[in-house]
Amino acid sequence: MNTLQKGSVRYIVFRERNCWYAAGLEFNIVESGDTPQEALLLLFEALQGYVEAARKYKARPIILNQKTDAEYEIMWKGQKDKKKSVLDKIFTSGIVNLNKIKSFAPITA
Protein backbone atom coordinates (compact mmCIF):
# COMPACT_ATOMS: atom_id res chain seq x y z
CA MET A 1 0.00 0.00 0.00
CA ASN A 2 1.33 3.41 -0.97
CA THR A 3 1.62 6.19 1.58
CA LEU A 4 2.68 9.81 1.17
CA GLN A 5 6.17 8.80 2.32
CA LYS A 6 6.78 5.56 0.40
CA GLY A 7 5.45 3.18 -2.17
CA SER A 8 5.54 2.58 -5.91
CA VAL A 9 3.50 2.86 -9.06
CA ARG A 10 3.49 0.42 -11.95
CA TYR A 11 3.63 1.83 -15.45
CA ILE A 12 3.15 0.47 -18.94
CA VAL A 13 3.87 2.05 -22.34
CA PHE A 14 1.91 0.74 -25.30
CA ARG A 15 0.76 1.60 -28.79
CA GLU A 16 -2.76 1.87 -30.13
CA ARG A 17 -3.04 2.73 -33.80
CA ASN A 18 -0.65 5.64 -34.45
CA CYS A 19 -0.35 6.89 -30.87
CA TRP A 20 1.76 5.86 -27.89
CA TYR A 21 0.30 5.83 -24.38
CA ALA A 22 1.94 5.57 -20.97
CA ALA A 23 -0.24 4.64 -18.01
CA GLY A 24 0.53 4.92 -14.28
CA LEU A 25 -1.63 2.10 -13.02
CA GLU A 26 -2.18 2.85 -9.31
CA PHE A 27 -2.77 6.56 -9.99
CA ASN A 28 -4.95 6.12 -13.10
CA ILE A 29 -2.89 8.67 -15.01
CA VAL A 30 -2.46 8.26 -18.76
CA GLU A 31 -0.35 10.39 -21.08
CA SER A 32 0.07 10.15 -24.85
CA GLY A 33 2.81 11.02 -27.28
CA ASP A 34 4.11 10.62 -30.80
CA THR A 35 6.86 8.30 -29.54
CA PRO A 36 7.01 5.89 -26.60
CA GLN A 37 9.77 7.97 -25.03
CA GLU A 38 7.65 11.14 -25.19
CA ALA A 39 4.66 9.37 -23.64
CA LEU A 40 6.85 7.97 -20.85
CA LEU A 41 8.49 11.33 -20.13
CA LEU A 42 5.07 13.01 -19.94
CA LEU A 43 3.82 10.26 -17.63
CA PHE A 44 6.80 10.64 -15.28
CA GLU A 45 6.25 14.42 -15.18
CA ALA A 46 2.55 13.85 -14.38
CA LEU A 47 3.41 11.30 -11.68
CA GLN A 48 5.87 13.73 -10.11
CA GLY A 49 3.28 16.52 -10.02
CA TYR A 50 0.64 14.17 -8.65
CA VAL A 51 2.85 12.97 -5.78
CA GLU A 52 4.10 16.49 -4.98
CA ALA A 53 0.52 17.79 -4.81
CA ALA A 54 -0.59 14.85 -2.65
CA ARG A 55 2.26 15.52 -0.23
CA LYS A 56 1.74 19.29 -0.20
CA TYR A 57 -1.95 18.97 0.66
CA LYS A 58 -1.45 15.93 2.90
CA ALA A 59 -3.98 14.00 0.84
CA ARG A 60 -5.38 10.69 1.97
CA PRO A 61 -3.32 7.75 0.72
CA ILE A 62 -6.33 6.35 -1.14
CA ILE A 63 -5.49 8.61 -4.09
CA LEU A 64 -2.15 6.81 -4.36
CA ASN A 65 -3.85 3.40 -4.33
CA GLN A 66 -6.63 3.65 -6.88
CA LYS A 67 -8.29 0.68 -8.51
CA THR A 68 -6.48 0.08 -11.78
CA ASP A 69 -8.40 0.36 -15.03
CA ALA A 70 -9.25 -3.20 -16.14
CA GLU A 71 -7.74 -2.75 -19.62
CA TYR A 72 -4.36 -1.75 -18.20
CA GLU A 73 -4.40 -4.49 -15.56
CA ILE A 74 -5.01 -7.05 -18.33
CA MET A 75 -2.03 -5.65 -20.24
CA TRP A 76 0.16 -5.73 -17.12
CA LYS A 77 -0.74 -9.35 -16.35
CA GLY A 78 -0.56 -10.37 -20.02
CA GLN A 79 2.95 -9.06 -20.49
CA LYS A 80 4.08 -10.75 -17.28
CA ASP A 81 2.56 -14.02 -18.61
CA LYS A 82 4.29 -13.35 -21.97
CA LYS A 83 1.06 -13.37 -24.00
CA LYS A 84 2.02 -12.55 -27.58
CA SER A 85 -1.14 -10.51 -28.27
CA VAL A 86 -0.21 -8.20 -25.39
CA LEU A 87 3.55 -8.15 -25.95
CA ASP A 88 3.10 -6.90 -29.52
CA LYS A 89 1.52 -3.67 -28.19
CA ILE A 90 3.88 -2.96 -25.28
CA PHE A 91 7.05 -0.89 -25.59
CA THR A 92 8.13 -1.12 -21.93
CA SER A 93 6.80 -1.44 -18.41
CA GLY A 94 8.12 -1.22 -14.90
CA ILE A 95 7.74 0.16 -11.42
CA VAL A 96 8.69 3.62 -10.17
CA ASN A 97 9.57 4.07 -6.51
CA LEU A 98 7.71 7.10 -5.09
CA ASN A 99 10.86 8.21 -3.27
CA LYS A 100 12.75 8.30 -6.59
CA ILE A 101 10.01 9.94 -8.61
CA LYS A 102 11.73 13.35 -8.73
CA SER A 103 14.57 11.86 -10.74
CA PHE A 104 12.21 9.80 -12.94
CA ALA A 105 14.19 6.67 -12.12
CA PRO A 106 12.36 3.42 -12.83
CA ILE A 107 13.34 0.62 -10.46
CA THR A 108 12.54 -2.04 -13.07
CA ALA A 109 12.12 -1.97 -16.80
**Which pLDDT tens digit goes with each residue over 43-84?**
999 999 999 999 999 999 999 999 999 999 999 998 878 777
41 Cβ neighbours under 8 A, 6+ residues apart: 33, 104
pLDDT for res 102: 62
Domain ranges of the chain: 8-98
pLDDT for res 103: 52
**Which pLDDT tens digit goes with each residue over 19-51?**
999 999 999 999 999 999 999 999 999 999 999
Task: Write down the pTM of the prediction.
Answer: 0.86
Q: What phi and psi values does residue 72 have, to the nearest 5 degrees? A: -75, -35
The CA distance from 84 to 20, in Å, is 18
